[in-house]
Amino acid sequence: MGEFVIRKVKTMDEIRGIVEIQRKAWDLVDLEIVPTFEMKAITDVGIVLAAFDKNNKPIGFIYGYHHFPDVHYSHMMAVLPEWQGKGIGYELKKAHRKMALESSHPVNYIKWTVDPLLPNNAFLNFAKLGAHSTKYYVNYYGDPSGFGLYEGLPTDRFLITWPIRSKKVEKRMQDYKTERITKQELLERSPPINKIHEERWRKLRNFHTLTSFSVQVPSDFREIRAKNKIAMEWRVKFRELCLEAFSHGWKATDYHSFKIEERRENYYEFSKIASE
């Protein structure tokens, strides 16, 4: 963290910097950006944390609020494009967890929504943080026309639940790498129900007779999104799988990324075993 520090946001200048992060990270128009006055009010009653570079410029942020009795809702998190991939999102989440654990109102869970097909988000939320999901929202933000990066594609979301006091999360916070497994171990533990062939979903088996299963997902969904037909196919097929699985008591409990020669293979893992 030598390149940046994380602290609570207080001043309007800092908040204006966060407005610029929203604009640049998500390519949002002004209508979709959280107003500065609203964010200033939340600094007194909710959660506004930011990462600052050596020049005290905001380069990433978390914005959320209390959802009683024991939940923090993390509504937004973003990092400037040029600072992405440097662990800032992970450190922001750790800082939020620390804040929640020290809250005068006991907090047991932090929740947020996320596009389940973006690999960096998935690896952070499931592999590094130890969160899980049992809820899938279809086109969460409605008509995606003009919605920055999501223009032309439904804005489906996972509702992420992060049980911040659980043993699983404690282990991941100490060192998430100790709980990583090989591809062979994953496929033996959680047989895949599909595979990717020429960028498309190919079904292998049904999951209903399994005790856990894995789903291969694209490692480059941002690139696939440029090919709208293929991106829409992935959106719909993954949506159908999640809606069916969640309705039968399954959880999305982990995410795995393996480097195979010069390419990546990414898998969600689903289980009925308690993830906490």
Other CB atoms closer than 10 Å to residue 134's CB: what's the count?
A: 18
For 232, counting Cβ atoms within 10 Å of its Cβ (0-12 exposed, 13-18 middle, 19+ buried), the class is middle
Q: Could you give the CA distance from residue 215 to residue 265 in angstroms, rounded to a whole number?
A: 11
Least confident range from 53-62, 74-83, 130-139, 224-233: namely 224-233
When the pLDDT of each residue in the chain is averaged and rounded to a whole number, the result is: 92
Question: What angle (nearest 5°) sits at the alpha carbon of residue 74, between those of residues 71 and 80?
Answer: 160
Section 55-76 average pLDDT: 94
- Using the predicted structure, report yes or no on whether residue 147 has a pLDDT greater than 60: no
Residue 84 confidence (pLDDT) = 92
State the Cα–Cα distance between residues 91 and 84, nearest whole angstrom: 12
Q: Which residues pair with 64 in a beta bridge?
A: 47, 74
When comparing pLDDT for 147 and 183, which is higher? Answer: 183
Contact 45, 72 (CB under 8 A): no
Inter-residue long-range contacts of 77-84, CB under 8 Å, 24+ positions, other chains counted: 77/112, 78/21, 78/22, 78/25, 78/26, 79/21, 79/25, 79/51, 80/21, 80/24, 80/25, 81/24, 81/25, 83/4, 83/51, 83/53, 83/59, 84/120
50 has a pLDDT exceeding 80: yes
Give pLDDT, residue 145.
56
Residue 225 has a pLDDT of: 83
Q: What is the pLDDT of residues 235-246, one digit of tens each?
A: 999 999 999 999
CB 165 within 8 A of CB 101: yes
Stated pTM of the model: 0.92
Question: Which residue(s) pair with 160 in the sheet?
Answer: 112, 133
In this predicted structure, what is the pLDDT of residue 149? 59
For the chain, what percent of residues have pLDDT higher than 70?
95
Pull the structure tokens for residue 210: 């399994």
Q: Which pLDDT does position 274 carry in this prediction?
A: 56
Domains recognised in the chain with CATH numbers: 1-107 (3.40.630.30)
